[in-house]
Chains A and B, each alone.
Chain A
Amino acid sequence: MKMFRILVVIAALSLFLLGTIVIAQQSTVLKVAYWRQTGTAQAKAFDKWFGEAISEFKALYPNVKIKTIAITGSEGDYYTKLALMMRAASTAPDVVFEDSFMIGSDAAAGYLLPINKYVSQWQGWKHFYPAMRKITEFHGKVYGVMNGSDVRGLWYNKKIFEKAGIKVPWQPKTWADILSAAKLIKEKLPGVIPFSMYSGVPDDEASTMQGYEMLLYGTSMGNNALYDWKTSKWVESSPGIEHTLQFIRKVFTEGLAEPLQYALNPQYGSVVGQQLLPQGKLAIDLDGMWVYGSWLPTGPTPWPEWKKVMGFALMPTEYGQAPGFVSLSGGWALSITSHSKHPDLAWDFIKIASSAKNLATFDYYVANTAVRDDEINYIYAKTPLADVFANVMKYTHYRPAFPEYPKISYQIDLAMENAMLGRPIEETMRGYAAAVRGIVGVENTEAVK
């Protein structure tokens, strides 16, 4: 009898234990947080990309449930929400989708897990372009795997160019070439905006990256023009900064660029892509390669003729000095949070999602530039101008993704605004230098003569 009781207790205990194990197994949940731009091509691309990656992952780990956390709202609100989630272990997702320029800040905050031990054993890592492996590094450690990038250059309307008597295809060699084309268009076609660039505070970091940096990185200091990688100091003043601001002042005060009330409209990005360019009201647009996404059948303003009408030229350096052209690249990455309870599973998910085939799907549907050299073997090959954009990748730079960058970006936008309004460049430069010193400390800046 006693034996029977003991058996019953043991049986009950084992059942309980087994039950707990089964429940624990089934309840392993991997949380993946991402930014969802509802109703756009981005959301559809995510559905395809994550859909495929999740089903591959499920085949490997049938007992792990993947919970995708779609966060909607503006880009800034997304970062805020993500930062708040990552602060506490109870709310932190396992995998996060982050803009590469936030990775430095979030790594410094201790939100992200270094993944060197994972990428070093991964065959796929060597297929990533060198710049795309470097971009997610912070203090020598890797914090993310890029899933798409972009390049920037000059979109131009071939029909307007022909009307103005400029030969197409057009490829300016210097800043002066751009200005002379713009002047000619202003003269011959008064109703057309000759040149457009993002500038000023309302367009946030788009002004800094698509506008200011596309000029600044083409001046004499090149890759060290904003942040000097050799001395690890921020450049507070330099001839390059002066020339960049002078260019901005020139185009906005001499009527070569869009009117101020357009430029200072926070929605200017969609005005350019969805109205000015398709309506033939803008000749040259210094912008991201993704602009054509609006014109695809899936985009907000389908424009079937765009390939015939629009050309894409590389942005030249100031005087055409080596390497001749300039571009900036950003893009987003998948990272593991430091609070993740399942970092190995999280890595396996990232590895699957970052296969050449899966990234090709995402980059094709979201109109990104490929980050792996083998995406071209899959659907990405159908991306319009894929070879042109791959060529631009050779000249590309990426932003110094330090925690101070967002604040410096704001100061750049203010300086641009002063230049646009025609205020004296020396005064603007003094203000910018003082602001940069205030943000990073005087010991971390340098003035270049």
Chain B
Amino acid sequence: MEKASFRSWVIPLLPAFILLGIFFILPAAWAVYISFTNMALTGPTALHWDFIGFRNFYQIASDSNFWTSLYVTLFFLFGSVIGQFVIGLLLAIYLKGKSTFVRLSIEALAIIAWIMPEVVGGFSWISFLNYPGGLANILLNPLNLSQSWLFFHPLFSVTLANIWHGTAFSMLMFIAALDGIPKEVIESARIDGASSSRIFFSITLPLINTSILTDLILITLFTMGEFTLVFTMTGGGPGMATNLLSIYAYRQAFSFYNISYGSAISLVMLAIGMIISLFYVFLARRPAVKT
């Protein structure tokens, strides 16, 4: 009987296990393995590599370009996450109870930005921020703020582009979560005399707590892995100004053919993503303060 039940769940899942194994677990394990070697894509260690233990990680620790990239990544990460989270939540609240027309138009606009291929989005931003003829500079000209944004404020510009690109995801998550709150709860609070802000902070926010946590974790991980949009807009430059860890890892692996060092950097990125996610989980698990 036990054997049958084992078979009854293993066999249907087998294709999924095999696919996951081939396309996810094996490559990931391979990446972990080569992080501890000196394998390169060309040169003497291309086919005859050695196991070098933690040497790549020691090198990362003393690599000033890595620390610059980490700083750039953290700025980009927190800027994007806060921006996407706040704007997404505000849009969701604003859209609640609005007419279908308004709702659909705004949702459609946000979703277009989200589903647009990142290369297309990147080029749109380049022409939007183009100096002196881009739309942004034409609009900012009366305020005397017209300038080469990608040159003088590159990190701010790519963060803004990423907020534009990713906000729809948070918005959709929060629309679904807000729709899930029973009307009766809000109505009875209102009958009890609660103000709108009181309702928001004491009822709405606690009830969509899980959605907030999921949203934060997901957009953090999406942003950690962000590459295409920024690479299209600036190539990581000027200098190192927008050189995200993902771009730095790519350059090491595929411009300098140092695939093992690139892999080691991506492992460090994975660790950072996990630490931040654990931090969110820890925050969310803390007992809510009752007033």
- Give chain A's interface residues, CB within 8 Å of chain B: 76-77, 79-80, 83-84, 87, 102, 105-106, 108-111, 200-202, 204, 260-261, 264, 266, 403, 406-407, 410, 414, 417
Contact A111 B42 (CB under 8 A): yes
Shortest Cβ distance from B253 into A: residue: A80
Contact of B46 among A76, A111, A261, A414 (CB under 8 A): A111
- Give chain B's interface residues, CB within 8 Å of chain A: 40-44, 46-48, 131, 148, 150-151, 235, 237-239, 254-258
Contact A410 B46 (CB under 8 A): no
Contacts of B257 in A (CB 8 A): 79-80, 83, 105, 406
Given contacts A76-B254, A204-B255, 12 further A-B contacts (CB under 8 A): A84-B41, A105-B42, A108-B46, A109-B40, A109-B42, A109-B46, A202-B235, A260-B151, A264-B239, A403-B40, A406-B256, A414-B239
Contact of A109 among B44, B131, B148, B151 (CB under 8 A): B44
How far, in whole Å, are A108 and B41 apart by their CA atoms in the complex? 11
* B137 CB to nearest A CB, Å: 13
Contact of A202 among B41, B46, B47, B237 (CB under 8 A): B237
Contacts of B151 in A (CB 8 A): 260-261, 264
How far, in whole Å, are A198 and B156 apart by their CA atoms in the complex? 26
Contact of A403 among B44, B239, B254 (CB under 8 A): B44
Contact A80 B47 (CB under 8 A): no
Shortest Cβ distance from A407 into B: residue: B256
Contacts of B43 in A (CB 8 A): 105, 108-109, 403
Contacts of A414 in B (CB 8 A): 239
Contact A410 B255 (CB under 8 A): yes
Contact A110 B235 (CB under 8 A): no
Contact A83 B42 (CB under 8 A): yes
Contact B131 A106 (CB under 8 A): no
* B129 CB to nearest A CB, Å: 11
Contact A202 B238 (CB under 8 A): yes
Main secondary structure of the interface of A (DSSP, over half): helix
How far, in whole Å, are A109 and B47 apart by their CA atoms in the complex? 6
Of A109, A266, A410, chain B has the most CB atoms within 10 Å of the CB of A109
Contact B46 A201 (CB under 8 A): no
How far, in whole Å, are A204 and B236 apart by their CA atoms in the complex? 12
How far, in whole Å, are A84 and B259 apart by their CA atoms in the complex? 11
Contact A261 B237 (CB under 8 A): no
How far, in whole Å, are A266 and B257 apart by their CA atoms in the complex? 20
Shortest Cβ distance from A110 into B: residue: B47
Contact A403 B42 (CB under 8 A): yes
Contact A201 B47 (CB under 8 A): no
Given A260-B151, A261-B131, A407-B256: A80 and B41 within 8 A (CB)?
yes
* A85 CB to nearest B CB, Å: 11
Shortest Cβ distance from B46 into A: residue: A109
How far, in whole Å, are A200 and B151 apart by their CA atoms in the complex? 13
Cβ contacts A to B, 28 pairs, < 8 Å:
A80-B254, A83-B46, A84-B41, A102-B42, A105-B42, A105-B257, A106-B42, A108-B44, A109-B40, A109-B44, A109-B46, A109-B47, A110-B47, A200-B237, A200-B239, A201-B237, A201-B239, A260-B151, A261-B148, A261-B151, A264-B237, A403-B43, A403-B44, A406-B256, A406-B257, A407-B256, A407-B258, A414-B239
Contact of A77 among B48, B150, B254 (CB under 8 A): B254
How far, in whole Å, are A201 and B243 apart by their CA atoms in the complex? 12
* A311 CB to nearest B CB, Å: 31
How far, in whole Å, are A79 and B257 apart by their CA atoms in the complex? 9
**Top 8 closest pairs, chain A to chain B, by CB:** A403-B43, A109-B46, A261-B151, A105-B42, A83-B41, A264-B238, A261-B148, A108-B44
How far, in whole Å, are A76 and B148 apart by their CA atoms in the complex? 28
* B289 CB to nearest A CB, Å: 49
* A422 CB to nearest B CB, Å: 13
Of A204, A260, A264, chain B has the most CB atoms within 10 Å of the CB of A264
Contact of B255 among A84, A264, A406 (CB under 8 A): A406
Of B148, B237, B257, B258, chain A has the most CB atoms within 10 Å of the CB of B257
How far, in whole Å, are A200 and B240 apart by their CA atoms in the complex? 11
Contact A266 B235 (CB under 8 A): yes
How far, in whole Å, are A303 and B224 apart by their CA atoms in the complex? 46
Contacts of B256 in A (CB 8 A): 406-407, 410
Contacts of A102 in B (CB 8 A): 42
* A208 CB to nearest B CB, Å: 13
Contacts of A202 in B (CB 8 A): 235, 237-238
How far, in whole Å, are A261 and B150 apart by their CA atoms in the complex? 9
How far, in whole Å, are A112 and B41 apart by their CA atoms in the complex? 14
* A245 CB to nearest B CB, Å: 16
Contacts of B258 in A (CB 8 A): 407
Contact A417 B42 (CB under 8 A): no
How far, in whole Å, are A403 and B131 apart by their CA atoms in the complex? 39
* A269 CB to nearest B CB, Å: 13
How far, in whole Å, are A111 and B47 apart by their CA atoms in the complex? 9
Shortest Cβ distance from B154 into A: residue: A264
How far, in whole Å, are A111 and B44 apart by their CA atoms in the complex? 10
Contacts of A106 in B (CB 8 A): 42
How far, in whole Å, are A419 and B41 apart by their CA atoms in the complex? 32
Contact of B47 among A87, A261, A264, A417 (CB under 8 A): A87
Contacts of A111 in B (CB 8 A): 42, 46-47
How far, in whole Å, are A410 and B65 apart by their CA atoms in the complex? 12
Contacts of B48 in A (CB 8 A): 110
How far, in whole Å, are A58 and B41 apart by their CA atoms in the complex? 34
* A259 CB to nearest B CB, Å: 9
Shortest Cβ distance from A77 into B: residue: B254
Of B42, B44, B239, B256, chain A has the most CB atoms within 10 Å of the CB of B42
Contacts of B235 in A (CB 8 A): 202, 266
How far, in whole Å, are A347 and B178 apart by their CA atoms in the complex? 70
How far, in whole Å, are A105 and B45 apart by their CA atoms in the complex? 10
Shortest Cβ distance from B151 into A: residue: A261
Contact A110 B131 (CB under 8 A): no
How far, in whole Å, are A24 and B42 apart by their CA atoms in the complex? 33
Contacts of B255 in A (CB 8 A): 76, 204, 406, 410
* A391 CB to nearest B CB, Å: 35
Shortest Cβ distance from A76 into B: residue: B255
